[in-house]
Amino acid sequence: MRAIVVRELGGPERLVLDDVPDPEPGPRQVLVEVSAAGLNFIDTYQRNGLYPMDLPYTPGLEGSGRIIEVGEDVHGLFVGDRVAWVSALGSYAERHVVPADAAIPVPDEVGDDVAAALLLQGITAHYLATDTFPLSAGDICLIHAGAGGVGLLLTQIARMKGAEVVTTVSSADKAELSEEAGADVVVIYTEKDFKEEVEQRFGPNSLDVVYDGVGATTFEKGLDLLRPRGMMVAFGNSSGPPPDISPLVLSRKGSLFLTRPTMAHYTQTRVELLARAHALFDWVRADFLTVRIGERYPLAEAEEAHRALEGRATAGKVLIEP
């Protein structure tokens, strides 16, 4: 079968399409014919060495497809079932072995492409808005990269919770997408300073929470916008890691809270994983949540997909389709 293989860490050129042996499922595993793999910034962090990886490896934590073989000691999953996953490395391939505990059944009403586009970023948005900082009516939140995969979903969930939403985007086209998702205020950061815009609209130290998946270029200004005892949720590093910070800085700025959440700690059991996934599927089926799929790349163009994501030339979810 064909798969993308990374043998050396570095830029997108390290993503090499190769012929590899067909995988076989072991105990408590299922073999899936991959319909689509979801592209996420964590894929780039692993590829460039920000997150250490054992080499060689096939990228891609997220995907969807149909089970074609079931290993021993697997219960409740059968050949022909459609499943998706968010934490099974190796999705940039025609076939993929997925741990049974990580395989999420996909409802008939949800397509393979939507399932692959929804779950990793959707579960992220779900725990950010419901657990990390549980939003409620009257809260004011700032969501950076509002036209990205997480940003569009998090905006919709925040609006469902009754919060006011400010987003940052890089262009007028992306601003339109963010507005369609329900953002109350959209700042094109290439034209205006988001800190000045927020303070002009809401006043100084007015935000309850900042959801920052960008990192280096936005982190410090975001801290300055929070109310006393507000929360900075630093969940990504698309512009590089945020700077180191002393706890005394948090004290001086208003006894602020700072957290760096990761999905593994918000899906520690299969029950919790399925509960979050089922909530998202229910919202999609009820038309409360819209999944925007942006670009689709064939497996052979994974390098181009990474370049587009890192160059902030994408909007919505990017899929890699074998």
- Does residue 131 belong to any structural domain of this protein? no
- Does residue 129 belong to any structural domain of this protein? no
User: 48 lies in which domain range?
Assistant: 2-119+267-321
**End residue of a domain, out of 245, 260, 275:** 260
Same-domain check for residues 32 and 66: yes
- Strand, coil or helix: what is 262? coil
Residue 232 pLDDT = 98
SS3 percent helix, strand, coil of the chain, rounded to 5, is 35, 25, 40
pLDDT tens, position by position, 47-60: 999 889 999 999 99
Residue 29 pLDDT = 98
Beta partners for 33? 66, 95
- Does residue 109 belong to any structural domain of this protein? yes
Same-domain check for residues 69 and 32: yes
76 Rama class: left (phi>0) / alpha (psi -120 to 50) / beta: left
How many angstroms separate the Cα of 152 from the Cα of each of 57, 219, 294, 312? 30, 20, 12, 15
- Does residue 16 belong to any structural domain of this protein? yes
Same-domain check for residues 46 and 105: yes
Same-domain check for residues 11 and 95: yes
Same-domain check for residues 282 and 243: no
Q: Which amino acid is at 164?
A: E
- Does residue 80 belong to any structural domain of this protein? yes
State what percent of residues in the chain have pLDDT above 90.
90
Residue 314 pLDDT = 80
231 Rama class: left (phi>0) / alpha (psi -120 to 50) / beta: beta
Same-domain check for residues 19 and 82: yes
Residue 41 pLDDT = 86
- Does residue 127 belong to any structural domain of this protein? no
Same-domain check for residues 8 and 111: yes
One pLDDT digit (tens) per residue for the chain, 322 residues = 999 999 999 999 999 999 999 999 999 999 999 999 999 988 999 999 988 999 999 999 999 999 999 999 999 999 999 999 999 999 999 999 999 999 999 999 999 999 999 999 999 999 999 999 999 999 999 999 999 889 999 999 999 999 999 999 999 999 999 999 999 999 999 999 999 999 999 999 999 999 999 988 999 999 999 999 999 999 988 888 899 999 999 999 999 999 999 999 999 999 999 999 999 999 999 999 999 998 999 999 999 999 999 887 887 789 999 9
- Does residue 124 belong to any structural domain of this protein? no
**To the nearest 10°, the Cα dihedral for 184, 238, 294, 264?**
-90
- Does residue 307 belong to any structural domain of this protein? yes
For residue 194, give the CATH number of its domain: 3.40.50.720
Residue 294 pLDDT = 86
Residue 312 pLDDT = 78
Same-domain check for residues 141 and 256: yes
Same-domain check for residues 80 and 171: no
Contacts 24+ apart (CB under 8 A), 287-293: 288/156, 288/160, 289/122, 289/153, 289/156, 289/157, 290/152, 290/156, 290/181, 291/114, 291/117, 291/118, 291/122, 291/153, 291/317, 292/152, 292/177, 292/316, 292/317, 293/113, 293/114, 293/117, 293/317, 293/319
Q: Which amino acid is at 253?
A: K
pLDDT tens, position by position, 158-189: 999 999 999 999 999 999 999 999 999 999 99
**End residue of a domain, out of 242, 260, 278:** 260
